[in-house]
Amino acid sequence: MAAIIEIRNLVHRFADGTTGLDGVSLDILAGSFVVLAGANGSGKTTLLRHLNGLLTPTSGTVRVAGLPVAQNRLRARMQVGMIFQDAESQIVGETVAADVAFGPENLRLDRCEVDRRVAAALAAVGLEAAGDRRPHLLSGGEKRRLSIAGVLAMQPQVLVFDEPFSNLDYSGVRQVLGRMVDLHRAGRTLVVTTHDLDKVLAHADRLILLDRGRIAADGDPAAVAAAAEAFGVRCPPLAAERLSWLN
Amino acid sequence: MAELSTPHRRWTPARLDVRLKLALLCTASLASLQMQLYGLLGLLLPFALLAIARRASLGARIRELRWVFWILALVFAARALFTEGAPLVSLGPVAVTRQGLQEAVNACLRLALMFVLGGVFIGLTPTGEIKAAVQWYLRPIPGVPAARVATMLGLIARFIPVIFAEAARTSEAQRARLGDRRRSPVGRLATFGLPLVRRIVLSADRLALAMEARCYSELRTEPELAARGRDFLAFGLGLAMLAVALAV
Ligand SMILES: Nc1ncnc2c1ncn2[C@@H]1O[C@H](COP(=O)(O)OP(=O)(O)OP(=O)(O)O)[C@@H](O)[C@H]1O
Ligand SMILES: [Mg+2]
């Protein structure tokens, strides 16, 4: 399968001189389910923000579907949907339905298509009955699912999740994980960062460990997970058996 | 949006096209300045009857709106005491005059009408529609970025509850560490105000990033508004009522 994301020698230095990424090279195949793990501050969020041009490389290139992101930001953002670490701060609309409509409206789709996509996206995350509710009154899990719906409505090829399980209870984790697995089955490419390998490992087909802005290990989830402890990520017990949270 | 996506929902006066609703509200506010006692009473009467018919939830509403009654009382006192005319009762240097009493009643009724109409408008109209109407009215004005103004309005509506929530969280976190034992207002400002502003700015920053990630642009799908025959009929009826109220 072809690589949908190609990263070459990506270096990112922040304005204050902190090095966020230090020479990352990486290909992500279309349709794969990639987990990105690493200790706090290892550069996971920074890496994700390069995938849709929210950050500009200090050096190196990022390509999405063959085109460099730096010159094609809008296209990259249409192809790479991002679900942020903090669900609350990515809510834009005054109602749940208005929030989901925000992306499609930016794409200038006609009103019928916007409404159709909003309905489909809300149904996909099980929020179809909440269309008129105020987003800030939703529970943490519902907010997370709302932010997924907002991205789904734009129908991106790649979905990027930054810590999708933080602050979620058991059923919240299962709901979000269930949606992720559905999307992967439907052929989307998923890139997920997490500290909790336990929750996604069974469904991933690749695990990448980041350490201080560099790729420390990359490969088969079970094999890489065994080496994770050295980089500040807990290796789940029985990683090799790949027990799913969904059963 | 959900309202807009089901255009064939049963029509009720509450579903009157939002632009006409807004126009009616503005006309009513201006007209009420010229109305006298009977006109004002006549317009308020239907709302009063409606309120009595649904008195179940009225008690709680009135408690929520205590401050409205304070404002009305204040206006009443000011008008009654400081209007020239034939004195009815004198209280030392000031006197309650006949004209003053009349003026006070009218002013209070006007204000009450404003509150009632404004409240009804806000209660019956989803924020998204108000935003759409503002954008529609601003569009013909050259030099005004209507889409940007509408987005700002939407963001403000979304942000106000966030600011209160952030303030509550900051205050809780500080009280948990006995921050409320600091008495100096300057110290309070530094320990409460600064972190609060910082958090609000940070969350605005994050929101801007999230909007960018979802391809924010000012050229967006326009909100869909449709005024049909019945909307204009209801609008005309509203105008006629205002005209009658002005005439009596
Ligand atoms: N705006 C910024 N300015 C300066 N340094 C930053 C900025 N954002 C992040 N950093 C630094 O860059 C490094 C990588 O941060 P990043 O947010 O990518 O880590 P992360 O792996 O996502 O961590 P976490 O697991 O805590 O989310 C950290 O050392 C962080 O302190
Ligand atoms: Mg992060």
Q: What is the pLDDT of residues B88-109, one digit of tens each?
A: 777 777 778 888 888 889 889 9
Ligand 1: lining residues by beta carbon, under 6 Å: A 14, 16, 18, 20, 38, 40-46
| Sign of the Cα pseudo-torsion (B24, B30, B31, B35, in order) | positive
Contact check, Cβ <8 Å, B158/A93: yes
Q: How far apart are CA A25 and CA A7, in angstroms?
A: 5
Nearest to B162 by CA among A92, A13, A66, A208: A92
Q: Is A247 a domain residue?
A: no
Is residue A239's pLDDT more than 70?
A: no
The CATH number of the domain where A51 resides is what?
3.40.50.300
**Amino acid A9: pLDDT:** 96
- Give the residue, by CA position, lying nearest to ligand 1 atom 19: A41
**Predicted confidence (pLDDT) per residue in A202-226, tens digit:** 999 999 999 999 999 999 998 888 8
Alpha helices by DSSP H, A52-95? 73-79
B125 and B21 in contact (C-beta within 8 Å)?
yes
Q: How far apart are CA A196 and CA B218, in angstroms?
A: 39
The enclosing H or E element of A160 equals strand A158-162
Residues B138-155: tens digit of each pLDDT: 888 888 888 888 888 878
Angle (CA) B112 B115 B116, round 5°: 85
Q: Does B57 touch chain A (CB under 8 A)?
A: no
| Three-class SS state of A235 | coil
- Ligand 1 atom closest to the CA of A18, numbered from 1: 5
What is the per-residue pLDDT for B13? 64
Structural domain containing residue A85: 3-231
Q: How many CB atoms lie within 10 A of CB B160?
A: 10
Q: Is residue A31 part of a domain?
A: yes
Which range (A187-191, B17-21, B124-128) has the least confidence?
A: B124-128
As for how many domains chain A has, the answer is 1
Evaluated on CA atoms A13, A18, A19, A21, the torsion sign reads negative
Burial zone of A96 (CB within 10 Å; 0-12 exposed, 13-18 middle, 19+ buried): buried
Residue B5 confidence (pLDDT) above 50: no
Q: According to the model, what pLDDT value does residue B6 have?
A: 42
**Tokens 């050229």 sit at which residue?**
B219
Residue ranges of A 82-141 with Cβ closer than 8 A to chain B: 82, 84, 86, 88-95, 97-98, 101-111, 114-115, 118-119, 131-132, 134-136
- Closest ligand 1 atom, residue A163 Cα: 27
Would residue A75 count as lying in a domain? yes
Asked whether residue A142 is domain-assigned, the answer is yes
3-state secondary structure of A191: strand
How far A166 CA lies from chain B's nearest CA (Å)?
Answer: 17
Give Dmax over CA atoms of chain B in angstroms: 69
Q: Which A residues 32-71 touch B at CB under 8 Å?
A: 52, 54
Q: Specify whether the backbone of B155 is left (phi greater than 0), alpha (psi in -120 to 50) or beta.
A: alpha
Contact: B221, A109; criterion CB under 8 Å:
yes
Q: Which residue has the tokens 């759409």?
A: B132
* Closest ligand by atom to A194 CA: 1
CA distances from A188 to A72, A173, A192, B8 (A): 21, 20, 13, 36
Query: For the segment B38-91, what is each residue's pLDDT rounded down to a tens digit?
Result: 899 999 988 888 877 776 566 666 777 778 888 888 888 888 887 777 777 777
HEC string of chain B? CHHHHCCCCCCCHHHCCHHHHHHHHHHHHHHHCCCCHHHHHHHHHHHHHHHHHCHHHHHHHHHHCHHHHHHHHHHHHHHHHCCCCCEEEEECCEEEEHHHHHHHHHHHHHHHHHHHHHHHHHHHCCHHHHHHHHHHHHCCCCCCCHHHHHHHHHHHHHHHHHHHHHHHHHHHHHHHCCHHHCCCHHHHHHHHHHHHHHHHHHHHHHHHHHHHHCCCCCCCCCCCCCCCHHHHHHHHHHHHHHHHHHHC
Tokens of A112: 């019928």
Rg, Å, chain B Cα set: 24
Judged by CB atoms closer than 8 Å, whether chains meet at B213 and A84 is answered as yes
Spatial neighbors of A164 by CB under 8 A, at least 6 apart, are A83, A144, A176, A180, A192, A194
CA dist B104 to B83, B90, B109, B218, Å? 9, 16, 9, 48
* A84 occurs within a structural domain: yes
Question: Residue A238 has what pLDDT?
Answer: 67
A151, containing H or E segment: helix A140-152
pLDDT at B61: 67
Interchain proximity A150–B214, CB inside 8 Å: yes
Chain B environment of A159 (Cβ under 8 Å): none
pTM of structure:
0.78
Q: What type of residue is B232?
A: F
Inside any domain, residue A184: yes
B217 vs A137: CA distance, rounded Å? 27
Query: Quick one: pLDDT at residue A241?
Result: 67
pLDDT > 90 fraction of chain A, expressed in percent and rounded: 68
Measured CA to CA in angstroms, residue B107 lies from B23, B33, B34, B45, B73 at distances of 22, 9, 11, 16, 11
Does a structural domain hold residue A10?
yes
A245 three-class SS: coil
Instruction: List CB contacts (< 8 A) between B131 and chain A.
Output: 94
Choice between A59 and B175, residue whose per-residue pLDDT is larger: A59
Q: Are A219 and A206 in contact (CB under 8 A)?
A: yes
Give the pLDDT score at B51.
Answer: 78
The pLDDT score that the predictor gives to residue B57 is: 65
Q: Is residue A239 part of a domain?
A: no
Give the model confidence (pLDDT) of A44-93 as tens digits.
999 999 999 999 999 999 999 999 999 999 999 999 999 998 888 888 88
Contact, B97 vs B81, CB < 8 A?
A: no
Q: How far apart are CA A57 and CA A50, in angstroms?
A: 7
Q: Using CB atoms, which residue from A94, A98, A102 is nearest to B214?
A: A102
Beta bridge partners of A5: A28, A64
Contact check, Cβ <8 Å, A136/B162: yes
